Amino acid sequence: MKPLYRVDEKLSYDRFNLRKNPFSKLSSEGIKNIDEIHVSQDLDSKVTELLSEVINKKSSVAFALIGDLGSGKTQRLKGIHRLFEKTGFSLYMKIDTNDIVKILKDIFSVFYYMQEDKKSRFERFKNKIDRALGKELEFDEVWGLEKGKFKSTEIGNDLKKYMSEFEISCLILDELENLVSAPEQDLISFFEVLRQFISDMPSSSLFVMASTKEGAERIKKTNPAFVMRLHRLLEVEPLTDEKALELVEKRLVTERIDSKKILNPIYPFDDSGIKYVNKMIKGNPRLLLRMLHTVIAAAVKDELIEIIDDRFISELMTTPSSLEEYILKVPQDLRDLVTLIIRKFNGGPVSYIEIAKETKLSPTAIYENLKELVSMGLMANEKGKFEVMSGIRIMLEESEKKES
């Protein structure tokens, strides 16, 4: 899919005492030393208490992190994963399929390869002979799993068995919302495996899952017994204005050319500008960074702008005067999506399911991207249907008339 307009513009941020745009990397996966720019919230204190129960008091704990895309769930899970890797064993898995058998095999394959690495040459040779003679080996039950043809209780007990081999252990499942499009019976079977596991977890063992609110609701509806077994359901709270300012300051300092020249740590921003954006995106960290990425890029192009305040940003958010200007306001990684809606669906209205079918991408990812565009005032959402703003639609119609 080709973008509607190609933008290869390289901008200089020198006059703002910045090497480059400090908001380019949105997700935690793309950032080294992520802990240095993490902004602690009340939620982090609750998580720390639960981790202490496992590491210091030898307890077993199962909890869920629930929040919108970009609210900071993955960043926190990666922090937990790093901690447990240092103190014991940790298995972090990002769910990117609704195939429950594949997910279970991926989990058990970690234990399988760990055991294979420990085996001597003789033991491996003996296993080959035993398999050739038709003898069933330890993991054969897992490799032979088929949908609807396995006992969730036995698989849950097997999971406990392998986690018990470590003095301290942790299992983390991220983005479980991508699983809930599976058939209901598959979901019941999968969460029954997890219910069995967390019902009788080994000591000093942790289970953490993360999901969007919509995904969590589907899981609760499908298997309420599993959700009841969780010790805590923790919701990721939105950023307060104070925390938004702290996040921006930490991002800016990573790209300062000369930090000694800066009196205001959030320069070139005025706090009114950051608070304005934070209110607009309802405290979502990723949306905040995405919006500020666009805002500071626009400010760099305007030589008259010295301070980015709420007035500048409100003017920037007004309806663009051309299709080109509209596309430039769209974050670069979402321009193909907007282009598709304009070209294939005539600007909408269109459902995220229709777009997912056209692009063959995850419906959840499409839905969350569209929500981001709505939050930024670049798309409208009416009863689950998405479309470009009314002013943009008029420009599209005028463009079509000229072409005809």
174 falls within a domain: yes
* Tokens encoding 85: 């890797």
Residue 299's Cβ-count burial label (10 Å; 0-12, 13-18, 19+) is: buried
Residue stretches of the chain with pLDDT short of 50: 1-8, 137
From its phi and psi, is residue 22 left (phi > 0), alpha (psi between -120 and 50) or beta? alpha
Together in a domain, 75 and 128: yes
Together in a domain, 110 and 49: yes
Taking a C-beta distance cutoff of 8 angstroms, is the pair 285, 323 a contact? Answer: no
Output the pLDDT for position 139.
Answer: 57
> How large is the angle between the packed helices 42-55 and 73-87, nearest 10 degrees?
20
Together in a domain, 285 and 326: no
Rounded CA separation 240/279 (Å): 9
Output the pLDDT for position 137.
Answer: 46
For tokens 């997700």, what's the residue? Answer: 27
Together in a domain, 45 and 142: yes
2 falls within a domain: no
Together in a domain, 332 and 371: yes
* Tokens encoding 28: 């935690």
Taking a C-beta distance cutoff of 8 angstroms, is the pair 372, 291 a contact? Answer: no
Together in a domain, 101 and 224: yes
Output the pLDDT for position 151.
Answer: 84
* Tokens encoding 367: 């839905």
Considering the entire predicted model, what is its pTM?
0.78
Together in a domain, 312 and 329: no
Pairing mode, strands 385-388 and 379-382? antiparallel
Among 193, 212, 235, which residue terminates a domain? 235
Together in a domain, 193 and 268: no
Closest to 42 measured CA to CA, from 248, 208, 239 = 239
Together in a domain, 118 and 263: no
Together in a domain, 364 and 332: yes
Taking a C-beta distance cutoff of 8 angstroms, is the pair 378, 389 a contact? Answer: yes
Output the pLDDT for position 167.
Answer: 93
Among 175, 210, 235, which residue terminates a domain? 235
Output the pLDDT for position 278.
Answer: 92
- CATH number for the domain spanning 73: value is 3.40.50.300
Output the pLDDT for position 172.
Answer: 97
Together in a domain, 361 and 395: yes
393 falls within a domain: yes
Together in a domain, 110 and 143: yes
**Residues spanned by the domain of 302:** 239-318
Rounded CA separation 362/349 (Å): 19
